[in-house]
Structure 1
């Protein structure tokens, strides 16, 4: 099946590349949380950045780090070069932080059990990094909010339920409540603590409210989400309940509800409670909330309510669709809560009130213009780190900061990060690739895990890997658009059905309108190392399995790219097979007409950590180009490079003979390119396409947003 772009307007008006007078947020720096550990500490321990706030002057960030039991401090005097200021031990699990002037107020969970919750509010002098007071809160704190005039603090006392007890339902004592306490002499006034009971208000477990998040407007009114109870409460600064109402329920059509290796917006959810998490006042009458869901809910979007309970806006499917268009849709979460909007931040930049909606599972923040709260306009989607938990807007410095809690150190992955974005003139640097405007059966086309590429006239074809094994796909990219535009999608099929179970890592043209596709394969999962020949519609017309003599030495690291030189196909094998010398991999040759196999050897580098391998091969002019990369990410990355091999040396020897070793010359170190958007070095540089004039494009594989930030980088390195 081939789907082409329509002229319909996309749900997301991403206008990167417009006139330079346009204002946009762009990421300018990233800060890895392990940098705040003291010299000699074990930096292999998990750390995190969850809720984040800034000092009044906007020069220092303070974030909660639950795994380490600390708050971390970051100097952003120069926001493009954040500096570690160290950690401060909280004597428990910090859950939230608010700042008045240069003083931080940190909610700390000290509970010994679910039935005996306890916690404290810790006052920290940021300049001296000293704790100046501690207040017993009488329960387990979750969210902390500070009044705009600095006169008081509100704390949501969640007293969360045990998810292993009673089927994880609410109705577990003790009940949570809201704590309000004053501020005097830059310290919390413990004697002024007031507990505001929230029982008896909700339809769901009225005896057991679990306050989740709080925010305070300029009138001193605190809005509280009761997530599991699907309820909202507005409380005066004196502790009077001003209004309370259900967060409501939603039914949606056109939702991907199956974790099945395919992005298909064909399902529906019916009468699902919003179960909001974060909430933030837009003005004194309206607030925005992220409908993450918990027990039974999660509507994949966000809403705006008036403080009297009127729903004035709901995003429906539009937020999730916009995320899918930029390749950030997390298919593995389809059976649960999709992109999971969790965070809300509000700020006014350049006179425009904005709401920032963070999607935890998509690792994205949506930037909305809420000049009219009844009709928000999505202006941008920004790439965050993995699992964004909190944001802080600093309009006085034109900055937005995200705190991203996932630390994958135990799996050899990227560390938790704080990321800094600047609002300034110029085009948006992200997304680099979008399918905006392309529809399939009336729904946006989601994509991800792009691997191999090949140029075709003014366009580039790319193929997705095994993450979407139920929906192997070829997409056509127009690189002249800004951002580059996916304008056609071809579903790979076999006998009229999706060709499930392929691990496509390479693509090249067959010279007759069709394609040759390389499948990496994995014998342990029953996926063959193979070549597939398709026609122009993606229908497989020929399947080529590897010879048994070669498979006798196979590993799961097979073909990572395919290219064509004359009548011969060349495939790069990612890593050594059983008959290869150390740090040598095969470049395999196959002649489809003569059915003859052969190979040469390529010597790859040995990194200090992990492994290196090949991830792409492209013939152009008198050379063959390969991408050689290690499997490291972030600061540990060393090798992400393009090399060239003289085409004259690509003379295959018969399998079983001594194979010649080709020479190589470094063309480009890609690490500076991978750092160009202010993030960390992504692991999988897997796509290379070279246009007829020699202009080269590079892309990364985002692993289908599974334990990944979801970012796809697609960029030109000029003429190669």
Structure 2
């Protein structure tokens, strides 16, 4: 089936920015051509920087790409690797197939990099502690990947920029605070500053001078902590002082302060301010300090701040200022709400700074003036059309690796680079350089968006762990969220549109006391909330022809190793989510319980077929439970899993089951690995016809979906957990994004076509 585009662009529908002022005339606008209206960014590759150490990333060592720059011809990426204290180089002559060129060891921690001709200028922190600060601006020949010169900058550098005309470099010396000293309270000496480097002549001839920043900010004036710098065409440096909630403009030609002003505050409504395992964007915060991190000039008159926050604030937004210090645009709650709409909202950061906009970048692609904002915690890049600098209009949202820090536009090659810095092999996270290409093509992401609730906020969703096609409407499928969230829900998706649209949410309700009256120890005491919503672990869902749902809730805990926190339960609800019945396993089977229980449920001829994830105690094969609804009886088949094939070991299990008819079923068999370590992501089918209780099924490979997952241009996600067979024969597959916790939040709903 070909998804048809919705007539209403989801981007336009979602972009409801708060415009504080609409300054500027026609000189601030660029007409968009008809061709440009069809252009989008799509991810074409990710280069995991662990490949610099091992060709297949078979290493546990932490490495990172934090800040990224490009050679003047746009063919070589240069990135800072703080954990390894090195500078990395990547060839992107073919951007769809980036190739590592090696690394250059440094004498300290690289924090930033910028380009001057054939040289990379690298800020390197050589401080021994927070008081005895020191640092260098290291000059590297890109062609030979060798150090040719170093300049002592007299402190801990945090950001480096080179002026558009190549005359100056500006180096922010943060001299960051010790967050363990007095709970990180300021002031903490020594104070930060700005170092200006005159780039005339050869590197050995370059000279530097310091610009003091003390006494400028209202907050902690004796301890300026500059964070980021960008330079415009007039050689004016824009400096953010994050903890001071301040912005400074410096004329690099003479080191004078042109303007200095507070970044101000934002009143936020329609946000989630509590970490309670429920996304509820109906709360508010007043007077939130912006505390900008990354900044970028849009012109010589306007600039943008990414308001990540740190010490006392963080407004979850980005803002556009003019050089008089006036806010002409404020994104307000729109980024938080947008991430909730596309399944990327980080609920675990609700009491902190929400999605945390980290950095901003600006580029002119043909006639299109575009702004890019990296969200550190939602792991996305927001793309805005800024034909009018005072009225950014949402264009796209791009998926990135975990923690996108650096952003780099390369308009001459129609490329955008985002450097995702988080790296933890054990958590299935690898740092990488995300590469996006701008061209005439439909946007491939997001694959799912949601409608609004009655209060105007988006239906929040994430952690989808099961799919089921509607038995009578070929355009609808149903999904559930797993135990990452409380107050579990059933989602209705319209898959006739692209992206698919979550049209409604249905809470699972225990008003009849079905779960509340289960035997003690079956489910935790806190399963049923005061409003009768429930906190279970839905891992599978199937909708029956009569309109009822059956949900497979996975248990937790091992019977032998103990303790058992909850049992595996099949839960029957009506079409409105009201629980009608709950079914547990036979007592003898419960005695074999281990953590990896119910992972999917399907229905065929009045029987429910339940996929267990892994073999239970003292069993060699995984169970397929069969529950006869009318007879209220259980029987079991067995399924033999493939042996692990990942270079990182791990385990293999089932994560979904879907009925094909005629006694046949398809299952997802996958390993618990992602990225370069992923090896098994497969669909198998088996026939249950004529099999007796206790028999082992014979499986047949339907499709290795690892190539499909790689075709998204990103790193392979760990958990594919949902399948739905549509009436026209198309098979849909979706992954579980783990609630954006230790995950990049990416959800890929794929149409695999007609496989049966």
Question: Same-fold call, TM > 0.5?
Answer: yes
Counterparts of 1:324-403 in structure 2, within 5 Å, are: 324-403=340-419
- Counterpart in 1 of 2:752? 717
- Counterpart in 1 of 2:465? 451
Aligned-partner SS, 2:497 = coil
Task: Tell me if 1:177 matches 2:177.
Answer: no
- Counterpart in 2 of 1:239? 255
Task: Tell me if 1:620 matches 2:660.
Answer: yes
Question: How many positions carry a matched residue from both structures?
Answer: 701
Task: Determine the C-alpha separation between the residues in 2 that align with 1:33 and 1:587.
Answer: 40
Task: Determine the C-alpha separation between the residues in 1 that align with 2:37 and 2:753.
Answer: 26
Task: Determine the C-alpha separation between the residues in 2 that align with 1:20 and 1:625.
Answer: 43
Task: Determine the C-alpha separation between the residues in 2 that align with 1:336 and 1:555.
Answer: 35
Contact 2:51 2:57 in 1 (8 A): no
- Counterpart in 1 of 2:519? none
Task: Determine the C-alpha separation between the residues in 1 that align with 2:660 and 2:297.
Answer: 56
Task: Determine the C-alpha separation between the residues in 1 that align with 2:356 and 2:651.
Answer: 34
Unmatched tracts of structure 1, length 5 or more: 1-5, 654-658
- Superposed CA deviations along residues 666-692 of structure 1, whole A, max 9, x for unmatched, are 111101110112111111011000012
Task: Determine the C-alpha separation between the residues in 2 that align with 1:527 and 1:154.
Answer: 58
Task: Determine the C-alpha separation between the residues in 2 that align with 1:20 and 1:307.
Answer: 30
Task: Determine the C-alpha separation between the residues in 1 that align with 2:741 and 2:289.
Answer: 26
Using a 3 Å threshold, how does the CA distance of structure 1 residues 499 and 525 change in structure 2: closer, same or farther? farther
Contact 1:11 1:322 in 2 (8 A): no
Using a 3 Å threshold, how does the CA distance of structure 1 residues 159 and 481 change in structure 2: closer, same or farther? same
Task: Determine the C-alpha separation between the residues in 2 that align with 1:389 and 1:245.
Answer: 25
Contact 1:20 1:427 in 2 (8 A): no
- Counterpart in 1 of 2:629? 592
Task: Tell me if 1:258 matches 2:274.
Answer: yes
Task: Tell me if 1:441 matches 2:455.
Answer: yes
- C-alpha deviation, 1:186, in angstroms: 4.8
- C-alpha deviation, 1:126, in angstroms: 0.5
Using a 3 Å threshold, how does the CA distance of structure 1 residues 201 and 589 change in structure 2: closer, same or farther? same
- Superposed CA deviations along residues 624-666 of structure 1, whole A, max 9, x for unmatched, are 11110111111211111111111415x451xxxxx11011111
Match of 1:681 among 701, 709, 716: 716
Contact 1:534 1:540 in 2 (8 A): yes
Contact 2:604 2:661 in 1 (8 A): no
Task: Determine the C-alpha separation between the residues in 1 that align with 2:674 and 2:54.
Answer: 22
Task: Determine the C-alpha separation between the residues in 1 that align with 2:571 and 2:35.
Answer: 44
Aligned-partner SS, 1:193 = strand
- C-alpha deviation, 1:21, in angstroms: 6.8
Task: Tell me if 1:606 matches 2:647.
Answer: no
Contact 1:19 1:427 in 2 (8 A): no
- Counterpart in 2 of 1:30? 46
Contact 2:600 2:657 in 1 (8 A): yes
Contact 2:14 2:338 in 1 (8 A): no
Counterparts of 1:156-305 in structure 2, within 5 Å, are: 156-187=172-203, 189-190=205-206, 192-237=207-252, 238-305=254-321
Task: Tell me if 1:695 matches 2:730.
Answer: yes
Match of 1:533 among 563, 572, 578: 572
Match of 2:696 among 661, 665, 669: 661
Aligned-partner SS, 1:497 = coil
Counterparts of 1:308-319 in structure 2, within 5 Å, are: 308-319=324-335
Task: Tell me if 1:570 matches 2:584.
Answer: no
Contact 1:259 1:332 in 2 (8 A): yes
- Superposed CA deviations along residues 482-524 of structure 1, whole A, max 9, x for unmatched, are 1111111111122283533200000011332120000111135
Aligned-partner SS, 2:65 = coil
Task: Tell me if 1:80 matches 2:80.
Answer: no
Match of 2:536 among 502, 505, 522: 502
Using a 3 Å threshold, how does the CA distance of structure 1 residues 189 and 515 change in structure 2: closer, same or farther? farther
- Superposed CA deviations along residues 120-176 of structure 1, whole A, max 9, x for unmatched, are 000000100110000000000000000101111001100001111122112011100
Match of 1:636 among 669, 677, 682: 677
Task: Determine the C-alpha separation between the residues in 2 that align with 1:260 and 1:115.
Answer: 39
What is the root-mean-square deviation of aligned Cα atoms in Å? 2.0
Task: Determine the C-alpha separation between the residues in 1 that align with 2:256 and 2:654.
Answer: 65
- C-alpha deviation, 1:441, in angstroms: 2.8
Structure 1 outlier segments of 4+, above 6 Å: 6-9, 18-21, 38-42
Aligned-partner SS, 1:661 = coil
